[in-house]
Amino acid sequence: MTHADVDDPFAHLHDEDYARPFARGLAHAATLVTLSGRPMVSLDGAWLLTLDLFDEGLRQRWFDLDETPPSQWAVPRDYEIEAGEPVQVPSCWNVLKPEWTYFEGGAWYTRWFDWRPTVGAGRTILSFGAANYRALVFLNGVHVGGHRGGSTPFCLEITDQLRQGRNRLQVYVENRRQADRVPMHHIDWFNYGGLYREVALVPLPDVFIRQASAALQADRASIRFDLCLSDAVDGEASVTIAALGLEKSIPIKAGKGSITAAASPELWSCDTPRLYEVRFTFRTDAVTERIGFRTIEARGTQILLNGEPVWLKGVCVHEDDLALGKVSSEADIRRRLQHARELGCNFLRLSHYPHHEAVARLADEEGFLLWAEVPVYWAIDFGNPDTLADARNQLSELICRDINRASVIFWGVGNENADTDARLAFMAELARTARHLDPSRLVGAACLINRETFTIEDRLAAHLDVIGLNEYFGWYEPNFSGLDRLLANSNPDKPVIISETGADASPGHHGAGRVLFTEDWQAEFYRQQFSRITATPYVAGLAAWLLYDFRTERRQTSFQRGFNRKGLIGADKTTAKLAFHALASCYRSLGRAR
């Protein structure tokens, strides 16, 4: 029997192939549409949510059901949309009800919206900021596509399924941890589920601008513009930067066009984060981006911003909030940047997955440099071609989304992955993908240490521009002698960034000397680390692990209680620990020279 045997009311009980029809129609990087400056209709707000641990909704095709009230049902049902819990989107279900805290499974979101055609907008897409991990989308009972990957945006065209008047939108979101996913089932953060970023309808003309980018070239005297349209048409697009008096046409062949034009913009930097309004048009369509122009390069063991060495004073951050889970409100993002500024930072590592797109927009405005990465974390199923396809797509979606953000200087392709042949091939392919999509930025990953010889030793390093090093000498190892050996023994030919170092401290817990989980040791740990790191010429920066304490079920001692306590500030995002002030004074001691 198959799911198609609708006359047999029990067919679904025996159909283990129920999910097959929904595997098709996955949105991916090439179907993303740039939203910058476009009019949109928000679909955020009130939705109804029904948890579905057993995939009953896919087995029984809940999306197909009519909306007759139970009093008129001829036979019983297992699903009633209106019985769903009213929730707000964006949200993570884990923080909505205590009994949902640890829920890992599927859930059905439903809402209705009215739609009328707009003049000049022959096409409509549905845009999702992110859904963790897999989403299947149904409009008026029709499966219109889906997406996998928990932190990147996706777009689905719904032009043919939209009805004038009332429409029913259902999204099945599922957050099971699985060995073949990216990340896999073993992670050191909380597996929040849900439709946790914005959802919108985007009206578009018949042929529209899918992606548009502008990047300052290495000569710092010209800008390259790239444009990709929705369809393989020929024609002429144009680009304008009014503040530079620049107006150029871009010849389009088969839906694509590129030009390089002479221009000398004021350079974007941390001190002067100058942004220009860049307007791309094609026929009736227009996209407006605010773009900063700068160059970033690795030369020897230095990182150069606009040709000048920059030392990265950084901090890592997770998307995690006691009240909101993985939802990032603008207020939350601004608070992160404000705390980073108080710490004396010019750099943030957005670990370990793509963060909300507003982070890079605000970092552009405020003059922070960013390391953005995909969750190729620990023991990924490196030999699995489908897992590679998923990882490559997540990386491509991240790059497409943030291609115009001056703040983003590194694409991170992985974190602490054991050095096997399969992993090398997998991650080298990700590095190639990043360079192919974006030759203007640097590629990095948190690499490995040989613990017998105490050297940085990772075959992946040959494929990277910057070597990330996560090291916890003084925390997971009882003293710093290993760090001394490691820093002295290694002789890298490219910049090294300490992409993580840190120690747990339970807020308010004190003690003298190396007493674990005390604020005092965490502060002393940073002082010890900092003097060694800054005395090492090939280290070009540090990203402390990390800004705030965050939820993770791996951590269950009385000091942790479900939290990683390596935050410089507690999970309340208010209580600064001693280490916050210690690291701030270390960063201050570098002055402006670094």
> Residue count at the site for ligand GCB (CB under 6 A)?
9
* Three-point CA angle 274, 277, 282, nearest 5°: 150
Nearer to ligand GCB, 48 or 533 (CB): 533
Which positions from 219 through 258 interact with ligand GCB, judged by CB under 6 A?
none
Give the residue with the Cβ less far from ligand GCB, 79 or 378.
378
Q: How far apart are CA 568 and CA 576, in angstroms?
A: 6
Residue 273-292 contact track with ligand GCB, rule CB under 6 A, x = bound: --------------------
Nearer to ligand GCB, 111 or 566 (CB): 566
Binding mask 344-373 for ligand GCB (x = CB under 6 A): --------x---------------------
458 binds ligand GCB (CB under 6 A): no
What residues numbered 3-22 form the site for ligand GCB, per CB under 6 A?
none
For the bound state, the minimum distance from the C-beta of residue 524 to ligand GCB, rounded and expressed in Å, comes to 18
- Min. distance of Cβ 164 from ligand GCB in angstroms? 49
* Residue 545 touching ligand GCB (CB under 6 A): yes
Q: Which residue, 100 or 472, has its beta carbon nearer to ligand GCB?
A: 472
User: According to the binding rule CB under 6 A, does residue 470 interact with ligand GCB?
Assistant: yes
Does residue 565 bind ligand GCB (CB under 6 A)?
A: no
Residue 240 in tokens: 């304008």
At its nearest, how many Å lie between ligand GCB and the CB of residue 509? Answer: 17
Closer residue to ligand GCB (CB): 172 or 545 = 545
CB of 191 to ligand GCB, least distance (A): 13
Closest CB to ligand GCB among residues 108, 545: 545
Q: What are phi and psi of 226, to 5 degrees?
A: -125, 140
Q: How far apart are CA 154 and CA 282, in angstroms?
A: 23
Q: How far is the CB of 242 from ligand GCB (least distance, A)?
A: 44
Q: What angle do CA 227, 231, 235 make, to 5 degrees?
A: 60
Between 137 and 505, CB nearer to ligand GCB: 505
> Residues 300-339: x/- map of binding to ligand GCB (CB under 6 A)?
----------------------------------------
Contacts (Cβ under 8 Å, ≥6 apart) of 490: 455, 456, 496, 538
Contacts 24+ apart (CB under 8 A), 432-436: 432/463, 433/392, 433/395, 433/396, 434/395, 434/399
Minimum CB distance to ligand GCB smaller for 285 or for 549 = 549
For ligand GCB, the closer of residues 9 and 478 by Cβ is 478
Identify any residues that bridge with 372 across adjacent strands, giving them in sequence order: 350, 411
State the residue number with the nearest CB to ligand GCB.
188
Select from 130, 154, 126, 122 the least CA-distant residue to 140: 126
The tokens for 211 are 């992606």
> Under the criterion CB under 6 A, does residue 415 sit at the interface with ligand GCB?
yes
Among 197, 566, 573, 577, binds ligand GCB (CB under 6 A): 566
CB of 472 to ligand GCB, least distance (A): 7
Which C-beta is closer to ligand GCB: that of 352 or that of 423? 352
Of residues 18 and 545, the one with the C-beta less far from ligand GCB? 545
**Closest distance to ligand GCB from the beta carbon of 514 (Å):** 17
Name the residue nearer to ligand GCB (CB basis): 11 or 322. 322
CA distances from 191 to 186, 347, 455 (A): 10, 26, 34
The DSSP element (H or E) to which 361 belongs, if any, is helix 357-366
**In this structure, what token pair is assigned to residue 456?**
């940085």
Closest to ligand GCB by CB, 49 or 372: 372
Q: Are strands 563-564 and 85-89 parallel, antiparallel or unpaired?
A: unpaired
- Angle CA 54–55–57, to nearest 5: 125
Instruction: Please report how close the Cβ of residue 416 comes to ligand GCB at its closest, in angstroms.
Output: 5
Candidate residues 135, 564, 569, 570; the one interacting with ligand GCB per rule CB under 6 A: 564
Tokens of 494: 């490219």
588 exposure class (CB count in 10 Å sphere: 0-12, 13-18, 19+)? exposed
- Of 500, 520, 524, 549, the residue at the interface with ligand GCB (CB under 6 A) is 500
Burial class (CB in 10 A: 0-12, 13-18, 19+), 461: buried
Minimal distance, residue 316 CB to ligand GCB, in Å: 8
Check: CB of residue 411 under 8 Å from CB of residue 360.
no
Least distance between ligand GCB and beta carbon 352 (Å): 6
Instruction: Tell me: does residue 123 bind ligand GCB (CB under 6 A).
Output: no
**Cβ distance to ligand GCB smaller for residue 166 or 177:** 177
Q: Is 188 in the site for ligand GCB (CB under 6 A)?
A: yes
* Residues 16-55 within binding reach of ligand GCB (CB under 6 A): none
Structure tokens at 531: 């003097």
Burial class (CB in 10 A: 0-12, 13-18, 19+), 508: exposed
The answer to whether 349 touches 368, Cβ cutoff 8 Å, is no
Six-digit token string for 259? 């030009």
Question: Which residues lie closer than 8 Å to 455 by C-beta, 6 or more apart?
Answer: 449, 486, 489, 490
Beta partners for residue 248, in sequence order = 239
* Least gap, CB of 502 to ligand GCB (angstroms): 6
* Dist CA 524 CA 513 (whole Å): 9
When asked if residue 522 is in the footprint of ligand GCB (CB under 6 A), the reply is no
CB of 411 to ligand GCB, least distance (A): 17
Is residue 444 within 8 A of residue 371, CB to CB? The reply is yes
Binding residues (CB under 6 A) for ligand GCB: these are 188, 352, 415-416, 470, 500, 545, 564, 566
